[in-house]
Structure 1
Amino acid sequence: MIKINLLPHREARRKELKSQFYSLMMFAGLAGTAVVILIGFIFSSQLSAQTERNAFIKKENDELDLKIKEVANLKQEIDALKARQQAVEDLQGDRNQPVFMMNELVKLAPEGLYLTLIKQEGQRISIKGYAQSHSTVGIFVTELSSSEWMTKPEIIQNKAVGLGQGRDAKRVIEFDLNVGIRRPRELEAAASAAQLPANKPANAKMP
């Protein structure tokens, strides 16, 4: 006997395929959601770690800037202390400058030279006086240039004038010049610099 299935098997098959499709779509959606959540968690962890590293670097940079500022302030304080110490040493050394200056001028002044004014302003000395001739003034300037205590003489005025009246009148050279005076520490620095070339051959390496 032949059996005939009269049930709508095509519709049933279609419903079954549709149900499987929906199940696959749901599974794919869940899997995609899980992947997105996992990737987001990884990115969030990396971002959090990078944020922590950035915060650590910023903290270290701030501490380093503070230390640099402290070092700069300390350097300024040291420089100010050195400046004050140098000022005190200069004051102590400058007390003897008038003595050295007078001794040096007496030693350097040639015959036929008469000084009328010696005035010190800082490290420059104004000198005025009379000389028998222009050559006498020139000799005096040359002597000042070669002095270890004096430096950079500069003639301000050098002219012929008459002194006295009648038979006692004399024609002399009136001069006005200024010259620098060195401090003891400048002389010591110059002496040390002069000794350096002499020591270099002894310290030089043999080829």
Structure 2
Amino acid sequence: MSITINLLPWREEQRERRTRRFYYAVAAMLLLGAALGWGIAEFYAAQVAAQQQRNAFIEEQARELSQDIGDLERYQADALRLGEQLVLFQTLQTQRASTVALFNALAGSVVDGVVYQQVSRSGARVSVEGVAASERQVSDQLRRIADSPALGVPSLSEVESDAEGSGRRFRFDVEQSSLATSAGEQP
């Protein structure tokens, strides 16, 4: 007796089951891949957004620092300008006493009939232009300047007749002594 078993329908069923399982696995892998891709894309998008926020914060801080640097440079320029003004004021303050001593010495040495028309000073060197009625008054004036303790010996640079012919125009230079400037600074 021979029994024949037909295994063809069973094999067909097995094949269909395996094919279905394969398609389910491929579909599951596709879904898993899509989900994984979407997750990675979201992760990178979050990283990009966080980096953009950091960049915006850094740019804002850089802008504020640039403003602070500009303010600091303006403050430094103002401080430098104020320092220069302070030095100028101190110089003027010390020269004030020297100028007062100079004008006191010049006023105390004026001879009758002599008129100073212009007095200028450059450092300790003083230039004086004036008018006198005669040459005798000019020489008396120069002697009185030389006798003044606040002034040195005058150097006469020119004497000429006045345009009207009534007197003499003269010009001399003299050094203001350091004793006069230091004495003027003491009070």
TM-score between the two structures when normalised by the length of structure 1: 0.47
Letter in 1 for 2:128: I
Aligned-partner Cα distance in 1 for 2:170–2:55: 77
- Cα RMSD (Å) of the superposition? 4.8
1:122 aligns with one of 120, 123, 147: 120
1:69 aligns with one of 68, 74, 84: 74
Q: Which has the higher strand share?
A: 1
Matching residue of 1:89: 94
State the structure with bigger RCO (CA 8 A, min sep 6), 1 or 2.
2
Q: Secondary structure at the match of 2:5?
A: coil
Q: Secondary structure at the match of 1:32?
A: helix
Identify unmatched segments of 5+ residues in structure 2: 122-126, 136-141, 143-150, 161-167, 183-187
Q: Is the 1:93–1:184 Cα contact (8 Å) retained in structure 2?
A: no
Instruction: Classify 1:55/1:95 alpha carbon distance in 2 versus 1 (closer, same or farther; 3 Å).
Output: same
Matching residue of 1:28: 33
- Report how far residue 94 of structure 1 moved: 0.5
Matching residue of 2:60: 55
Q: Deviations for 1:134-182, whole angstroms, at most 9, x for unmatched residues?
A: xxxxxx9xxxxxxxx68xx895x688xxxxxxxxxxxxxx996564756
Instruction: Select the structure of larger CA radius of gyration.
Output: 2
Instruction: Classify 1:183/1:71 alpha carbon distance in 2 versus 1 (closer, same or farther; 3 Å).
Output: farther
**Are 1:3 and 2:3 an aligned pair?**
no
Aligned-partner Cα distance in 2 for 1:54–1:98: 64
Q: Deviations for 1:19-42, whole angstroms, at most 9, x for unmatched residues?
A: 332322221121112112222222
Q: Is the 2:131–2:169 Cα contact (8 Å) retained in structure 1?
A: yes
Q: Secondary structure at the match of 1:30?
A: helix
Letter in 2 for 1:122: S
Q: Is the 2:128–2:172 Cα contact (8 Å) retained in structure 1?
A: yes
Instruction: Classify 1:117/1:57 alpha carbon distance in 2 versus 1 (closer, same or farther; 3 Å).
Output: same
Identify unmatched segments of 5+ residues in structure 1: 105-115, 132-139, 141-148, 160-173, 189-207
Q: Secondary structure at the match of 1:122?
A: strand
TM-score between the two structures when normalised by the length of structure 2: 0.50
Q: Secondary structure at the match of 1:126?
A: strand
Aligned residues: 152
Q: Deviations for 1:110-142, whole angstroms, at most 9, x for unmatched residues?
A: xxxxxx7754333242367899xxxxxxxx9xx
Q: Secondary structure at the match of 2:128?
A: strand
Q: Is the 1:93–1:183 Cα contact (8 Å) retained in structure 2?
A: no
Q: Secondary structure at the match of 1:120?
A: strand
Q: Secondary structure at the match of 2:8?
A: coil
